[in-house]
Amino acid sequence: MNKSIAIIGAGAWGTALAILLAKAGREVTLWARNAEKAEAMRQTRENPRLPGIKLPPSLRVTAEMPEAEILLLTMPMQHLRSILPLLPQGAMLVLCCKGLEQGTLALPPEVVEPRPCAILTGPNFAHEIAAGLPAAAVVATPDADLRAALIAALHTPSFRLYGSADITGAALGGAAKNVIAIAAGVVMGAGLGENARAALITRGLAEIARLAAALGGKAETVSGLSGLGDLLLTCTSASSRNYSLGFGLGQGGGLREILDGRSAVTEGVLTAPALLARAGLAKEEMPITQAVTKLLSGEMNVPDTMAALMRRGLKDE
């Protein structure tokens, strides 16, 4: 039996998931915080963030908080805590945002505690999901019954879901990959070559795995869709906001100039210093994350940042 689903957040990712699930025959409501935006989407049956893709007739768009059995939270990470008091009680919560909260350094499931929840994460671009192209993702929660119920409710013929009990590792992979993607973009924008990008992705994966284990997750989780899969997609495509920001920096652009030209949030900019601070509390080294943080703050430029990474002490892999 289909469960009612509400998508909380009408950005590109939330709208894409709403389109995917509505087309698969689910009962779906898409919530937009802004009433004017909700009305415009109702009238045009489009979201300007996904040009050329029509909303299915069955998809309901509203600015009033809906009641549903499953709530998918797709707002930017820094807005997650402010949304929680508005949510109806008793629904299954699925966190689709990625990053760490400023100040608390909390991952998404830590912000939601003690309320039970799951993470939906993986290598997914919104425009491809909305277009119905094949993709896979992970539903992570230690609650096996909740995990099974969500996979049954959210999978579609074009959207294959895998389960994981490691919600910490899955959440960390989704957050940290944005930081590594900025570094990968810098490498390519500066013309440093494919060899350098491949090395950076591999070593980035290693530092994410170390921190995952230190935080109580599993290092092997980072080798799956929520880590390696997401990392490969985000570090190799110009469609990635984080990669394209790094590419601009690598070409000599200024951070503020690049951000001012965007309407969408580039999560890695806020995640980098928070991730570095969280790693410091866990006494784990994250040299690539540290380099990105210094580059974003203006403490180092691109040539000095890359030179610092190459000068690190030699050791076994």
What are the pLDDT digits (tens) for 52-88?
999 999 999 999 999 999 999 999 999 999 999 999 9
Strand order in the sheet with 117-121: 60-62, 28-31, 5-8, 70-73, 92-95, 117-121, 135-140, 159-164
Give residue 306's pLDDT: 84
**Whole-number pLDDT of residue 1:** 55
In this structure, what token pair is assigned to residue 309?
């990474």
pLDDT at 317 (0 to 100) = 83
The pLDDT value recorded for residue 23 is 97
User: Which amino acid is residue 43, in one-letter code?
Assistant: Q
Catalytic: 177?
A: yes
**Residues 262-299: pLDDT tens digits?**
877 788 999 999 999 999 999 999 999 999 999 999 99
Copy the structure tokens of residue 280.
């410091």
- Kindly provide the residue ranges of all beta strands, DSSP E only, lying in the chain, ordered along the sequence: 5-8, 28-31, 60-62, 70-73, 92-95, 117-121, 135-140, 159-164
Percentage of the residues of the chain whose pLDDT score is greater than 70 = 100
> Whole-angstrom Cα distance, residue 120 to residue 278?
22
Predicted local distance difference test score (pLDDT) of residue 199: 94
Q: Estimate to the nearest angstrom the gap between the alpha carbon of 104 and the chain centroid.
A: 18
Indicate which residue of 98, 177, 218, 294 is catalytic: 177
Q: How far from the centroid of its chain's Cα atoms is residue 194's Cα?
A: 24
> Which of the two residues, 241 and 306, has the higher pLDDT score?
241
Question: Residue for token digits 């940042």?
Answer: 305
Separation between Cα atoms, residue 121 and residue 174, nearest integer Å: 7
Task: Specify the pLDDT at position 165.
Answer: 98
pLDDT interval class at 305 (50, 70, 90): confident
Domains and CATH numbers, the chain: 5-167 (3.40.50.720), 174-310 (1.10.1040.10)
Q: Please report which residue ranges of 47-130 form alpha helices under DSSP H.
A: 80-83, 108-112, 126-130
Percent residues over pLDDT 90 in the chain: 91
Closest Cα partner for 227 from 94, 123, 89? 123
**78 touches 107 (CB < 8 A):** no
What digits encode the pLDDT tens for the residues 128-166?
Answer: 999 999 999 999 999 999 999 999 999 999 999 999 999
d(CA 261, CA 8) in angstroms, rounded, equals 26
